[in-house]
Amino acid sequence: MRLAELVKTKASRVLGIDASTNSVAFCLMENDKPLKWGKIEFTGADIYEKIYDAKIKMHAMLDELKSDYIAVEGAVLVRSPDAVIKLSYVYGVVIAELMSTGASVITISPTSWQAYIGNKNPTKMEKDKLRFENPGYADSWYKNKMRQIRKQRTVDYFNKKYGLELDDFDVADAFGIAHYSNTVLTER
């Protein structure tokens, strides 16, 4: 289901998913109250063994993660075609397993949920300040540092909002996806 088709849905349980080729972070919310969250690591010597491990682990979690709909983050920038393919494999198996409960799937833009919690793209002033306070690094260092700052802001936001002690960036992103979906896209 595309976001445009969703408009507002009558649902109470939303599962936010942030997957990678090595893990899936999740946050299950009901009426904007976090019920379960965490990160499931995949093991295997290659991507195919990891996909199989993802299927087994997600199947084992079906009852615990049952939701009205699943929100996944879309349009993630990946520079390597090989990484895109492998990420697609993992997302495919995770989503297929979770959909077996009857849940629908929507895709959320990363900028939508990040802006909703007040974590917008860094301003020119913030970038300039970082360069001024940390001179002499490569452009990639500054870009990575700004990414870490934004990720930490997300962690801090949800720790404060829900009185938690999250310390994993991926789990915090899953919170962002679930929170945005549950508060903005769900009709009470």
Angle between helices 169-184 and 139-162 (to 10 degrees): 60
Domain ranges of the chain: 3-119+165-187
Place of tokens 């001179």: 135
Band of residue 165 on the pLDDT scale cut at 50, 70, 90? very high
Structure tokens at 171: 């789990």
Quote the DSSP letter at residue 34: E
155 by DSSP, 3-state: which? helix
Band of residue 8 on the pLDDT scale cut at 50, 70, 90? low
Band of residue 4 on the pLDDT scale cut at 50, 70, 90? very low
**Residue 5 pLDDT > 80:** no
- For 108, list phi and psi in degrees, rounded to 5: -115, 135
Q: What is the mean pLDDT of residues 86-98?
A: 91
Average pLDDT score, the chain:
90
The domain over range 3-119+165-187 is classified in CATH as 3.30.420.10 = yes
- Could you tell me the pTM of the whole model? 0.88
CA 98 to chain centre: 15
**Residue 141 pLDDT > 70:** yes
Structure tokens at 104: 């629908």
Structure tokens at 31: 């009426």
The pLDDT tens digits for 35-76 are: 999 999 999 999 999 999 999 999 999 989 999 999 998 866
**Residue 110 pLDDT > 50:** yes
- pLDDT, residue 188, reads 54
**Residue 153 pLDDT > 80:** yes
The pLDDT tens digits for 65-90 are: 999 999 998 866 677 888 889 989 99
